[in-house]
Amino acid sequence: MRVLIADDDAHVRAAIRLLLEQEAGVSSVSECATIDLLVDQAAGFRPDAVLIDWELPGLQPAADHLARLHASAPGTAVVALSCCPELRPDALRAGAANFVCKGDAPDRLVSILRDLERGG
């Protein structure tokens, strides 16, 4: 599974990368800190999944940016990340495949990615 992490906090990106690098079957992980880099990297990297900070500066309106992302990397699943669980409905409405709170157990994120990998 190829994963792209988009978060403006370098510590969050590093923590997620370290978690995913320990998982069998995660072949590659790329990172970016802005919405424009996200779209550019997705086009070149062709990730299976994008983990995107739902409060990434410049992301709103999210539905527009997710449409750009899907146009540049068709078939890429988007998992929204946030510290605010109340943003879950907005993320799912905008087109995210799933939502993870940054405070959730790491196993939750891994489980969601495994489910996406199986086509779920």
Q: Region 33-51: what's the mean pLDDT?
A: 90
Sign of torsion, CA 69 71 73 78?
A: positive
Q: Which pLDDT does position 16 carry in this prediction?
A: 93
Q: How far apart are the first and last CA of the chain?
A: 14
Would you place residue 27 in the very low, low, confident or very high pLDDT band (cuts 50, 70, 90)?
confident
Domain chopping of the chain, boundaries: 1-79
Scanning the chain, the segments in alpha helix (DSSP H) are 10-21, 35-45, 62-72, 88-94, 106-117
pTM: 0.91
CATH topology of domain 1-79: Rossmann fold (3.40.50)
Q: How many C-beta atoms lie closer than 10 Å to residue 105's C-beta? A: 10
29, pLDDT greater than 70: yes
Residue with the two structure tokens 């995107």 = 52
72, pLDDT greater than 80: yes
Give me 78's structure tokens.
Answer: 């988007």
9, pLDDT greater than 90: yes
